[in-house]
Amino acid sequence: MKPGVLGIWNDVASGGFAHLEKWYTREHIFERVGLPGFLSGRRYELISGGDTRFFTFYEAGDPSAFTSPAYLERLNDPTPWTTEAMSHFRNMVRTVCEVHASAGQVSGPYAVVLRADGDIKPAPAAGAFLEDLAAQEGVLRAQLWTVAPGFTRSDTAEAKLRRGDKLVAGALVVECVRLDDAERVAESLTPEAAAAIGISGPVVLGTYGLLCILEKRAHPGA
């Protein structure tokens, strides 16, 4: 099975920002990355484009980490901080994906995200497209995510508190060294480029800056 990733895009209700900031960096990211199968968590804030203020993703050994008993227990028994946080989420997009293809190994502080709200049928040339992207000056890693059917649960206590999450077909995520590198990549992701890797239908293109990252090896007790 391919590596798994949980992609999340969201806005925050007026008045909820301070709580979410403290909740995420003091409790939530530690709770999530500490779960079996989770490898890392990253949270970003929108710089340009996009349709939500925040983009977050968690990496896992495979998509089954996102339906494990330990994870579902957390989703169905949210902490008091999490219960309050869920009431502040708006325009939530949340989907478990597989990393269909990847090039490059280093993470970067800027992420260009082409979210596929329509469909992805990865083209044979997708792998070469990612390799070409990752070889560009200032580009560190490029990944193509595709939805992992059956792994996104919408019936948990947390999901019910949010009152509905949108699903997507996947995303192209390109991590860059500097903002001007990210802006150059974003300009290159034309409709023709999306079609070349098998993305069709509506898309949302945004450039995000990294807010925080936690990897499992840096998690106390992991």
Q: Model confidence over 9-22: pLDDT tens digits?
A: 999 999 999 999 99
pLDDT at 19: 96
Q: What is the mean pLDDT of residues 94-100?
A: 98
Say which CATH class 4-218 falls into: alpha beta
Evaluate if residue 220 carries a pLDDT over 70: no
Q: Which of 20, 84, 4, 94 is nearest to 56 (CA)?
A: 94
Residue owning tokens 């260009």: 112
pLDDT at 217: 77
Q: Report how far residue 7's alpha carbon sits from residue 10's, in angstroms, rounded to the nearest whole number.
A: 10
What is the domain partition of the chain in residue ranges? 4-218
pLDDT at 126: 97
Q: What is the share, in percent, of the chain residues with pLDDT greater than 70? A: 98
pLDDT at 219: 47
Evaluate if residue 86 carries a pLDDT over 60: yes
**CB within 8 A of 149, min separation 6: which ones?**
none
Q: Is the pTM of this model over 0.75?
A: yes
- In this structure, the number of other CB atoms found within 10 A of the CB of residue 82 comes to 18
Evaluate if residue 172 carries a pLDDT over 80: yes
Q: What is the share, in percent, of the chain residues with pLDDT greater than 90? A: 96
**CB within 8 A of 130, min separation 6: which ones?**
101, 102, 103, 142, 143, 144, 197
CB 114 within 8 A of CB 34: no
Q: What is the mean pLDDT of residues 153-164?
A: 94
pLDDT at 163: 87
